[in-house]
Structure 1
Amino acid sequence: MSYESEATANAAVDLTNCDREPIHLLGRVQSYGALVAVSSDWIVQHASENLEEILGTSHEQAMGRPLNELIVSDGFDRIRQNLRSVEGPNGTIRLFGVVLRATGRTFDLSVHQSGRHLILEFEPKGEQRGRDVMSEVYPQIAALRRDQSMTVLARDAARGLQAMCGFDSVMLYQFQPDHSGRVMAEVRKDGKSRYDGMMFPASDIPVQARSLYKRSLLRLIADVNDPGSPIRPGVNLDGSPLDLSLAVTRSVSPIHIEYLRNMGVEASMSVSIMKDGELWGLFACHHHSPRYIDYERRTAIEMYAHLFSYELTRHEDVRRKKAEADTSRLQTLLMGHMANGRELSESLLAVSEEIKNVIPHDGLVLFENEEFNATGSVPTEEQFTDVARRLDQAIGSATFVTDTLNTLHPPASEYAEVAAGLIAIPISKRPRDYLVLLRRQISETVNWAGDPTKPMSYGPNGARLTPRKSFEVWKETVSGRCAPWTVEERHAAELLRTVLLEIFLKVTDAANLERQRNQEQQQLLISELNHRVRNILNLMRGLLAQSRASARSLEEFTENLDGRIHALARAHDQLTAEHWEPASLKELIRCEFAAYANGKSKRVKVDGPDAMITPRAYTTLALVLHEMVTNSVKYGALCDESGSITLTLERDTGDGLLISWIERGGPPVQPPTRRGFGSMIIESSIPHELKGDARIAYKLTGVEAHFRLPPAAIARMGEVEAAPAPVQEAPKAPATRLSGQGLVLEDSLIVAMDAAAILEDFGASDVKITSSVEAALEWLETNRADFALLDVNLGDEQSVAVAERLRDMGTPFVLATGYGETDDLIAAYPPCVIVQKPFSDQSVEQAFAKAMNTAGK
């Protein structure tokens, strides 16, 4: 143990005195080495008084001289060439067997930066054994029994270090969370055990000493009776002493010397054990007579401690993996119970013994939805409810662990014999539910190396924190505390928390989450529907205004507007048939020609690979193709019996799609005398909405148009077809004439009036409009319909009952719907013809022609 601290005689006696003592500013070195501090230009500005004894040059002669005048050039060059390793706050270079004087004597050197000085320490090289001391490290590490307990690993490590250093005793000392220390293992040459298992108070190693142990990993005190050698001058020009934090020869504070003498120790060595960047513990080596170990061997010992820290990590990893495997088996068991329909509480209690095997405990509580379920040694429901409320206030979402529940919740002192410590595992969000594992109080006798409550006494220098005179065993009986939760148990608890959260969220909260998802989905659908309806209304308004502005007659306006609306409707049908996924460009071309070419589609040739077009681009392209097709049918290659159209689709070098429209053989082309809305759609829609390109040329030989869709508009492209088939159109139904009285069942008045007008245009003498199933059935009680057009959805009802009445009456009818011919719709209604909304004169005519034909059979 190391207690490097020195308090002033008049300082107030409290534990923070030790934590404030400048143990790195002692201004002396131990006699086994000498020290010089040089400026950036290698001028000696400080030197220890024993420089002449060590190096052969007095400190007075060295002061103010360049270092290269004190040592041979080979030695100086070797120092200078290795200075790059000094970079960084804790950078140190170690040089072994360096010749510094003409006598040929060799030295071990330590060089580091301290403020504006470069500090060099020289230790005369001892007798060479003819063997590389580093080679001793790996056999000792290899001898560690890694598959045994921590106690065995610690004892092996202490034994290996003793073999390397030769000290009378070596202890492995682990810091506790409160900074006290426990001796994990002790190996002594006399075979006795003096401190094994004992605790040392945190005051034995104050804060600044622990900080130095993290920076300087090995500390040798070769002789407690060595007065050391002062450094001259003692301070810099600004009055500050040299910072010797990283000095390997740094002298020892008087209090620590007294501490070691009280232990009967004349030489000591402390080697830091670092783990995860923090000070995990120390190897504490003691000798009953002076003992010096040269710098090279000390470096090998330091390497041994480094490698042991890796073994610690590996040891913990093995334990962690075991905990993970145990938890995985526990998860399988738990899921098996819940798969049989058991509640979470029932399932957890059923596997409580398995949980105890992974994380030993005395009692288990599941506190879920304010319900108390428990087994084993636990507080009452009322007592635990108070604990749960305190946990809500004090902990976060991670697992909470305590050995002393009364420190979190003082009333717990009353039932410490039932539950003194716990691991609380939150298994839901607020209000939290918990799985809590509890342990009973254990009455433990802790052996301290002296009374930890009396770290100070009156020494020769007055009231100060004087080291204990006695290290006799001081026994303390501890109560109100449970057996400590190990690192592996804490890790297993965290794994169990993950398992339970998964189960809780997937099973226990499934209904709530499903409701929430449904609500969110409904809101999303409403928002999306609202967005799309507004877009459609804006689009319809724009089509209406632009078609009106460019039309020369009411008939032309009606025809243009109707065609454009149905072009959008056909594109929408294609997209919805694929669940709003990308749709085929060739199918869109086929639909447009089928709708308007009137038997002339065989004169249309489509070459090149098909392309799947994104939904947004598809509707834009539908309007452009509609304008091109109708213009060709009215004025271009398809307006007579001789013209033809070749559509070529090809991928360009930028992964875009080129569409070439070439008309040949039609009447001579006359460029338009005015630029109407249709021309705007052809020339501007693709550039404006899709960031593509469009150009059209009115040549005498025929219209030529070229469009480019950017890669963003294309989901994917197919291979070139060997022999592309010409676009075919659906056969046009013969003209249909209706006679008699008709019925329209539609809850939208405007749509109903449009449908009635279409039927009257086809010959109906009268058309009755109704908006509900009840009204339609009531009218049919006293009237007979010769034909009927029924909407499927009428607000909160469907027209199935009216369709069945019409079937029974032998009346042909057509269903109008925006859903298309779905399997559910076909199954729900009597056999009938279905027309897609928005319908047109042509689609209604074709539907009734088919319905009348079917009824006549």
Structure 2
Amino acid sequence: MILQNDDRTLGTPGEMDCAREAIHLSGAIQPHGYLLSCTLPDWVVRHASANIAGLLDMPPDQVIGKRLGEHVADDVLQPLLEAIALLEPGATPQRAAVGNIGALAHLCDISVHVASGLVHLEIEPRTVNAVRQAPTVVAQRMISRVSGAADMRGFHQRSAEEIRQLTGYDRVMVYRFRHDDAGEVIAEARADDMEPFLGLRFPASDIPAQARALYVRNRIRVIPDSRYQAVPILPGRDVAGAPLDLSQHALRSVSPVHLEYLRNMGVAASMSVSIVSGGRLWGLIACHHREPRLVPPSVRAAADMFSLFVSMRVSAAEQAIAMQHESRAREVRDRLALRLSGREDLSTSLIGALDLLESAVPCDGIALRSDGQWHTHGRTPTLDGLPHALEWARGQGADRLPATDHAASWLLPDANEGLAGVLAIRFGRRDDWLLFFRREQVEDVVWAGDPHKPMVATDDGVRIAPRKSFASWRETVRGRSLPWSDADRTAAERLRWLLQERPWQPLPDDAENVSDMRLFRRRHVLSEQKSRLDQLGALLDGLGHLEDAETARIGERIAALEAELRQLMLGNSLS
């Protein structure tokens, strides 16, 4: 986050090094498991973790280049083949089998995924605290307990409590990413003797972009011991000489900077479960423990299934909000279209509809520039500040919707009127503009440590390390407005389309032009209905928890609507 009186755009060298770190190319795994990468159909081992002797009782050089069937029984390989047949290359690892492996017949959980032309087996010896019930049964019970939450705040709190009960971690947090990529703890379940983190904010640099991308691809990550010694993968490069891409490996060794970060927090073991909405990383269920703690694959599988439900609920809630916004904006556009179809010219019509436009895109003030004249409604910059805001908007390019929530990027200091955000729409043939403004939101933020110092120099001055203090650090943030959401931008884009669809003219009395205007209105309404159907399609992504009967009923209704639309098309074609 860019803070008050802080216009830095570049991070410290440590932040930039961290952001460039190729964490998916670590070339090593964590020591609580083993890795074998094979070709198919011959099951020849191409890569093995350096600790493989602990499983197969022979060193890596006696395993690499040999058939896996020499070390693993067919009754273990067969379910792996069945799982592989259903996997897409690059898909998330699947817990595929439980079997006895090696000379000592270790009972192990085996996960499998396909990537880079190889089948990767991640093998973890069974522990005494493995879940006895099937992960699906455990996840279903968790889902039933959180489903009754009255609102999303209660839902997130119950989700944290369920994951803590499942895993036994000292602290479980629901960590949401903000629009500026900073994170905020919005729910927490913890041991009574632990300091609360609820409400604390963490700078975006704590989880850099490449780490967030991996969280989307690999939904669950576990570190049983933050002081582990990484185990190399042999050989460390593929046949083409490139480093191994471990993006999908559950056992992948994590960044040394992240391990040091955890130790500085007093965390000996951690797990993170991704919450994904609309293809983006919405947040994490973050788990911390003060002692090393191994969470078996069966428990992780239950947590992973539960997280899919959490993701669907979050996505459905966001879609519901977006649909409410779109419904309100659509009503405004319909009313605006009626006003603009009158006998007044466009400029006059818009001047009389500024209050209506303010409802189309939620804001605190709006300014119309038409024929070189300014007309305002609500809270806007001074007359000196309006041309400055317009020049900023022009400088962003006319083919997009310029928008910012940062006052310093566009606003004259002496013309602010308590504003910070602006969104601009250019329309018409005479360089006309609509500018929407939002007031400054003064915010008292409690950070987990000083956000200005996410990285600090070590005692010897040789390298940059993560900060050591996570004590509450308070700061007042100014110069920012409520951010412009995707729904705001969509509403603005459709408003621009409405204004530019045709040069609005007074509606003449002759029948031909009246018919033309009615045709336009019908097309406009149909376009709006298509938008609603698109949004309903996205909403279906949040209904994966429904029973088969409910899903079938929805399918019948969709089929009936489809048949009705086809009948209408057929009727029109015959007429």
Q: Percent identity, aligned pairs only?
A: 34
- 1:47 and 1:477, CA in 2 relative to 1: closer, same or farther beyond 3 A? same
Q: Distance in 1 between matches of 2:22 and 2:123?
A: 24
RMSD between superposed Cα atoms in Å:
3.8
**Counterpart residue number, 1:17:** 17
Change (3 A) 1:194 1:496: farther
* 1:47 alignment partner in structure 2: 48
| Aligned position for 2:77 | 76
- Closer, same or farther: CA 126–324 of 1 in aligned 2, 3 Å: same
1:363 maps to which residue?
365
Q: Indicate whether 1:401 and 2:406 are aligned.
A: no
* 1:49-100 residue CA offsets vs partner (Å, 9 max, x unmatched): 4334345555454344321111112112333343334542346443132343
CA offsets per residue over residues 310-339 of structure 1, 9 Å max, x none? 222211221122223323443565567778
Query: For the pair shown, which has the larger CA radius of gyration, 1 or 2?
Result: 1
1:404–1:480 Cα contact (<8 Å) kept: yes
Q: 1:339 to 1:59 in 2, by over 3 A?
A: closer
- CA 1:116–1:190 in structure 2 vs 1: closer, same or farther (change >3 Å)? same
Q: Does the aligned pair in 2 maintain the 1:264–1:288 contact within 8 Å?
A: yes
SS in 1 for 2:368: strand
2:305 maps to which of 295, 303, 306: 303
For 1:449, the equivalent position in structure 2 comes to: 448
How far residue 260 of structure 1 moved from its aligned partner, in angstroms, is: 0.5
Residues 199 and 447 in structure 1, CA contact (< 8 A), matched pair in contact too: yes
- Other structure's SS at 1:420 match: strand
Give the Cα separation in 2 of the matches to 1:454 and 1:55. Answer: 47
- Greater relative contact order: 1 or 2 (C-alpha under 8 angstroms, separation 6 or more)? 2
CA distance in 2, matches of 1:19, 1:398: 29
Q: Is the 8 Å Cα contact of residues 89 and 113 (structure 1) preserved in structure 2?
A: yes
Do the aligned residues in 2 keep the contact of 1:399 with 1:497 (CA within 8 Å)? no
Equivalent residues of 1:169, 1:285 under 8 A apart: yes
The verdict on how the C-alpha distance between 1:372 and 1:63 changes in structure 2, with shifts beyond 3 A counting, is: closer
Per-residue Cα deviation, 1:567-606 (whole angstroms, up to 9, x for no partner) = xxxxxxxxxxxxxxxxxxxxxxxxxxxxxxxxxxxxxxxx
The 2-side partners of 1:327 and 1:63 are apart by 62
Q: Within 5 A, what are the aligned runs for 1:28-43?
A: 28-39=28-39, 41-43=42-44
Unaligned runs of 5+ in 2: 1-11, 515-573
- Would the alpha carbon gap of residues 383 and 82 (structure 1) be closer, same or farther in structure 2, given more than 3 Å must change? closer
Query: Which of 313, 328, 347 is the matching residue for 2:352?
Result: 347
Relative to the length of structure 2, the TM-score reads 0.75
Question: In the alignment, which residue of structure 2 is the partner of 1:201?
Answer: 203
Q: Residues of 2 paired with 1:98 and 1:268: CA distance?
A: 27
**Using a 3 Å threshold, how does the CA distance of structure 1 residues 53 and 448 change in structure 2: closer, same or farther?**
same
Consecutive unaligned residues of structure 1, counting only runs of 5 or more, are: 1-11, 519-715, 717-857
Aligned to 1:435: 434
Q: Check the 8 A contact 1:456/1:465 in 2, yes or no.
A: yes
Alignment check: 8 A CA contact 2:14 2:465 kept:
no
Question: What SS does the corresponding residue of 1:203 show, helix, strand or coil?
Answer: helix
Q: Check conservation: 1:95, 1:109, Cα contact below 8 A.
A: yes
Distance in 2, Cα, partners of 1:360 & 1:52: 63
Alignment partner of 1:307: what SS?
helix
Q: Which SS does the other structure have where 1:258 is aligned?
A: helix
Aligned partner of residue 167 in structure 1, secondary structure: coil
Paired positions, count? 499
Q: Deviation string for 1:144-190 (max 9, x for gaps)?
A: 46996654443343334333333222222233444332333333232
Q: Could you say which residue in structure 2 is the equivalent of 1:463?
A: 462
- Cα separation, partners in 2 of 1:400 and 1:21, compared to 1, 3 Å: closer
Question: Structure 1 residues 498 and 55 mapped into 2: Cα distance closer, same or farther (>3 Å)?
Answer: same
Query: Is the partner of 1:381 in helix, strand or coil?
Result: coil
3-state DSSP class of the match of 2:216?
helix
Of 31-40 and 292-301, deviating more is 31-40
Name the SS for the 2:24 alignment partner: coil
- The letter for the 2-side match of 1:37 is S
SS of residue paired to 2:419: coil
Instruction: Return the alpha-carbon distance in structure 2 between the equivalents of residues 460 and 45 of structure 1.
Output: 42
Tell me if structure 2 keeps the 8 A contact 1:455–1:465: no
Question: Which residue number in structure 2 is paired with residue 415 of structure 1?
Answer: 415
Q: Distance in 2 between matches of 1:345 and 1:235?
A: 64
What is the TM-score with the length of structure 1 in the denominator?
A: 0.52
CA contact (8 A) 1:338 1:347 kept: no
Q: Is the CA contact 2:223–2:271 (under 8 Å) kept in the aligned structure 1?
A: yes
Give me the whole-angstrom Cα distance separating, in 1, the residues matched to 2:492 and 2:403.
9
Q: Is contact 2:329–2:361 with CA below 8 Å preserved after alignment?
A: no
**Which digits, 9 at most, give the CA deviation of each residue in 1:418-477, with x for residues without a partner?**
322123344x32333333332222332222222222233222664333011111122332
Cα distance change of structure 1 residues 487 and 237 upon mapping to structure 2, 3 Å threshold: closer
1:222 Cα offset (Å): 0.7
Alpha-carbon distance, 1:266 to partner: 0.9
* 1:269 counterpart residue number: 271
Letter of the 2:108 partner, please give it: F
Equivalent-residue separation in structure 1 for 2:497 and 2:158 (angstroms): 36
Please, which moves more after superposition, 271-280 or 232-241?
Answer: 232-241
